[in-house]
Amino acid sequence: MKTIKTSLAALLFLLLITATADSQNSISIRLSSETGQDCNLASYIPDTPLPAYPDMVAAAWTYGLEFNLWRPLFRFNLTEIPAGSPIISSKLSLYANPNPVSAPHSGANKSYIRKVTSSWNQNTVTWETQPDFSTVNQVSLSESISPTEDYLDLDVTELVRDMVANPSTNFGFIIMNRIENIYRSINFASSECTDINKRPKLDIVYGPVNIEPLSNSVPEGYRLYQNIPNPFNPETAISFNIPERTYVTLKIFDGLGKEAAEIYSGELSEGRYTKYWNAANYPAGVYYYRLQTDKFTDTKKLVLVK
DSSP state of 189: E
Last residue of a domain, one of 151, 184, 206: 206
pLDDT number for residue 122? 97
Name the β-bridge partners of 273.
210, 240
Q: Who wins on pLDDT, 267 or 27?
A: 27
The count of structural domains within the chain is: 2
pLDDT number for residue 84? 65
Mean pLDDT, range 78-101, rounded to an integer: 87
Q: Who wins on pLDDT, 82 or 99?
A: 99
Residue 9 falls within a domain, yes or no?
no
Evaluate if residue 1 carries a pLDDT over 50.
no
Instruction: Dump pLDDT digits (tens) for 246-261.
Output: 999 999 999 999 999 9
**By mean pLDDT, which of 9-13, 56-60, 203-207, 232-236 is the weakest?**
9-13
**Are 153 and 121 in a shared domain?**
yes
C-alpha–C-alpha distance, residues 226 and 236, integer Å: 10
pLDDT number for residue 74? 98
Instruction: Dump pLDDT digits (tens) for 191-204.
Output: 999 999 999 999 99
DSSP letters for 194-226: SSGGGS-EEEEEE--SEEPPSTT---SS-EEPP
Q: If residue 265 lies in a helix (H) or strand (E), which one and from where to where?
A: strand 259-268
**Are 98 and 177 in a shared domain?**
yes
**Domain with 292 in it: what CATH number?**
2.60.40.1930
C-alpha–C-alpha distance, residues 70 and 44, integer Å: 9
**Are 63 and 29 in a shared domain?**
yes
**By mean pLDDT, which of 52-56, 150-154, 225-229 is the weakest?**
225-229
**Phi, psi (5° rounding) for residue 54?**
-70, -15
Q: Who wins on pLDDT, 19 or 135?
A: 135
**Are 85 and 190 in a shared domain?**
yes
Q: Model pTM?
A: 0.67
Q: If residue 155 lies in a helix (H) or strand (E), which one and from where to where?
A: strand 151-155
Domain of residue 291, residue span: 210-304
